[in-house]
Amino acid sequence: MKAKVHVMLKDGVLDPQGEAVRHALANLGFDGVEGVRQGKIIELDLAPGTDEATVAEMCEKLLANTVIESYRIEMP
């Protein structure tokens, strides 16, 4: 079974990587981009029977820095 964890910086947290991407896009002529937030997707191959609560615990303990990041879990 697969799970996807989407990790993003929380609103209000500075995103220097996103700002660098926004600036680079402007330099390439893409002037319509007003903001960029960059995150990550973590794909997990899980043993059968692993539940979403276990994945949430993984996020809380390792996969996301919950002080500055939020996460969303996708499981079938």
- Read off the pLDDT of residues 39-56 as tens digits, 9 standing for 90 and up: 999 999 999 999 999 999
33's CB contacts (< 8 A; 6+ apart) are 22, 25, 26
Cross-strand partners of 62: none
Range of the domain at 52: 2-74
What does the pLDDT read at residue 76?
A: 85
What does the pLDDT read at residue 72?
A: 98
Structure tokens at 9: 């910086």
What does the pLDDT read at residue 56?
A: 98
**CATH code, domain carrying 58:** 3.30.1280.10
Collect the ranges in the chain with pLDDT lower than 70: none
| pTM of the entire predicted model | 0.87
Based on the structure, what is the number of domains in the chain?
1
Cβ-in-10-Å burial (0-12, 13-18, 19+) of 64 comes to buried
Taking CA 22 as the corner, what is the angle to CA 73 and CA 13, rounded to the nearest 5 degrees?
A: 50
Inter-residue contact 47 to 1 (CB < 8 Å): yes
